[in-house]
Amino acid sequence: MKIKEGLVVVAVLLFANIKTAYAAQRSGSHCHDATHSSVLITAPLISGSGSEPGSLLQCNIVNVSNDPRDVKISMLLFDGTILASVSPTLEPGHAYSLNYNSSGVEGYCKFGVQGCEEDFRADACVSDVTERCSGTTPAQ
């Protein structure tokens, strides 16, 4: 029984050391300062066909950090052609949605963000005229 208890203690100490090392690494990370930038990209989506008029392709992003962050949201066709682009500043907890109203669009979203990737939640969505998502893909 002592060997089993000893292994549990070793495992707990190892986990605590890993967690402490990760926290130290993260606190020293430069990605949380205002000069760091990151890029998040979604997988492509196809908005509704002609039989589904009024469908939207949306690029959605939320700032989950504690600071205001500049973002650049771009909606692109499969060949890289930019359909729409906007560069808002998002306050903590605020979201932005870039919409393109056209059936049959095949595209994806690109998010240029100030800070770390984990400071944001972003996705691409196909929605109907009521703006309810019927298909979504997260940005990575």
Environment class of residue 88 by beta-carbon count within 10 Å: exposed (0-12), middle (13-18) or buried (19+)?
middle
Same domain for 128 and 62: yes
Same domain for 27 and 42: no
Range of the domain at 126: 33-138
Contact between 56 and 122 (Cβ < 8 Å)? no
Environment class of residue 6 by beta-carbon count within 10 Å: exposed (0-12), middle (13-18) or buried (19+)?
exposed
Same domain for 8 and 59: no
Contact between 124 and 74 (Cβ < 8 Å)? no
Q: Tens of pLDDT along 77-115? A: 989 999 999 999 999 999 999 988 876 778 899 999 988
pTM, two decimal places? 0.73
Q: Tens of pLDDT along 17-69? A: 444 444 444 555 566 666 788 999 999 988 765 545 567 889 999 999 999 99
Same domain for 80 and 27: no
Task: Check which CATH number belongs to the domain holding 134 and give it.
Answer: 2.60.290
The average pLDDT across 123-139 equals 81
